[in-house]
Chain A
C-alpha cells in the first residue's frame, strides 16, 4: 500500500518533510479492515473516546479542585454548586470512570470470545492488559480525591494490602502514605499520580494501536485476511460505523449523567472523610468487585504464605494471568464460533466473573466465603486447566476458506 500522490503543493511540501498526511492516509482510507466486523468491534474506539472525555473533564475539574484534606471535599462541592456547569463536568467525569470500565470489560470479553489474543496479536493483547492495570490505578487514586468517607477508608484498606508482602511490605505502605496513615501527603501524591497516569495511558494506547495497525484487526470468524476481497478500507466504512456507535453510547452514558448521576456511587462518599469513624461497610467501586472477592476469598494459609498475602497474590495473579493467555490457549482456532465446546466454557467464565462481582459486594462471612472460594477456584481453573485441556481435546468445526468466501455464502443463503 503506497502513499497517494498529493496534488496540493502545500500538502506535498509538508508531507515530503513530515509525512503526517501519509500517516493519516495509512490509518484511514488506506487501512484495510476485515469486511465482516460486528458491532463488538466498536468498543475499542469507544474506549479511546471515553479516555479523551476523561482527560478533558479532568483538566477542567483540576482548575477548581484543592488537594488538601481540609479543603478537598468542600472544593468538590463548590464545583457542584458554584462553578458554571461544574455539576455537569463532575458528573461526566464520575460516571465516565464507570463507562470506561463497562466499555473496556466488553472489549476484553470480545477478545476472549473471538480469540483476538492469539498470534500474531500477543503484544497487542498484553498492552491491553497493561492498559487495564493502569486504568485501575488511575481510577483508584481518582476515587480518593473527593475525600469522602469511602475515599479515605477505601484507600486505607487497599494501601494496607501491600503490608502483606514480607520484609518490604511496611516500607511500601509508608511510601504510599507519605507518613503513617492515609493523610494529606497521601492525598497529594495520589492527586499528582492521578493526573499523570492518564497520559501514560495515552502513550500505551498509542502502542496498542501501533501494534493493531501492524497486525490488523481480528474478526468474528477468526480467519486472517488473505486477499483484497477480504477487506474494506477503514474510512469511510468504519469511521461512520464507529460514529454511529458513539451516538448510541453517548445516549447511554448521558442518561446516567442527567438522570441517575449517583447510580454507580456509594452514598457514604458524600460524608466528609473522618479518620475517627469507620463506615459499617467498606466496599470498592463496582468495577473492582470481582477482584475484591478474589482477594477476600483466600482466608487460609497456603504452606508458608499467610492468608492475607495469599489473597493479595491471588488478586494480582487473576489479572497478570491474562498476559500469558496466548500461551495457555494452544487451539489453532481463534473464534468461539468454531469451538462448540469451549464456547460454553467462555460463557461460564463470564457468569463466574459476574458472580464474583456480586460476592465482592457481600460481607465476607458464612456461605459467601465458600462461594467466593469456589468462584475463585473456577476462575483460575478456567485459564490453567480447562483452556489448555480444551486446546488438546476439542473437536473444532471446519473453518471457512476465507472471510470473503464466508461473506458471499452468507449473502447467497439469505
Chain B
C-alpha cells in the first residue's frame, strides 16, 4: 500500500514536470541519480557532504554566496570545533570602520576581521551589482537552489553535467534559436545559454579522503552538499518521521479495535 502510494505520488510529480517541460522548448529528461538521502530511510552520507563542501569552498565560492549557512553548521559534516574555527578564519569580513572610527586603514583599504564560527558563510562579492559586473550575470546564492528549482537535486546535477560543445539537432532546429559565442551552451539551463562556465571536470579538486576525482563524482558530491545546505534538517526529519509513524500506526490500530468493540452490537 505504502509502495503504491509513493508510486502514485511519484507518477503525479513526474507527469506534472514532464508536462511543464513539454510546454515550450526542448529539454531532455533530467538525469537520475541514486542519492543516499532519497526514500523513506535515506540519509546524508557525511563523507560525501564533506567532499561537496570541499568543492564549494575551493571552486564555487569564488562566484556564489551561501549566505544562509553558518560556519558552525559544518559540525553536522563532522568537522571539529577547531577545524571550523580554522575554516572560518580563512575568510575575512569587511568592517564598516576601524576602532577609531576611520573608514580606511593606513594602506587605504577597508578594515576587516577574521570570520568566526558564528558568522554566516562570507559572500564573494560585496553586493549583487559587483557580482553581475564580474560574471556577466548574477551567480545566485546557493543556500536554497536545491529547493528553488523544479527537479531539485536532479536538476542541479543535470545542469552541472549539461554543458555541450556542440548544439544538438533538436535545439538547433528550433524556431528562434540563435548561437551565442559569449556564453556557454547548457541543454538543461532555461534558454540554453548560461553565463556560468562549465565547472565539472576530472580532478577539479584533490579529495582529502582519497576518493577518485572524476567529474561525475564531483557533481554528485557538490549537489549532495547543496541539498544539505537547503535541507539541513533532512536526517532528523526522516528519523523523527519514522518514530511518529510507528506511534500513529499502533495508536490507530488500537483506536480501530476500540471502535469495533464499541460498535459491536449496533446495526448500522
Contacts and interface: CB of A to CB of B under 8 A. Distances in A.
B241 A258 contact: yes
Contacts, number: 95
Contact of B266 (A35, A247, A269): A35
Interface in B149-173: 149-150, 152
Q: What's the dominant secondary structure at chain B's contact region?
A: helix
Interface string B237-268: 11011101100110110011011001100111
Interface stretch (A94-102, A105-113, A249-257, A296-304): A249-257
B9 A267 contact: no
B142 to A, nearest CB: 12
A258 B240 contact: yes
A258 B268 contact: no
Given A258-B238, A267-B148, A267-B149, A363 B23 contact: yes
A271 B232 contact: no
A297 to B, nearest CB: 19
Contacts of A192: none
- Interface bracket on B: 35 or more
Given A267-B147, A271-B148, A81 B248 contact: no
Contact of B255 (A81, A244, A257): A244
Interface in B29-70: 40, 68
B144 interface: yes
Contacts of A258: 237-238, 240-242, 244-245
Interface residues of A, number: 43
Contact of A407 (B5, B144, B147, B267): B267
B252 A236 contact: no
B249 A87 contact: no
Nearest to A148: B148
Nearest to A270: B148
B209 interface: no
A240 B254 CA distance: 11
Contacts of B251: 247
Interface of B: 5, 9, 13, 16, 20, 23, 40, 68, 73, 140, 143-144, 147-150, 152, 190, 230, 232-233, 237-238, 240-242, 244-245, 248-249, 251-252, 255-256, 258-259, 262-263, 266-268
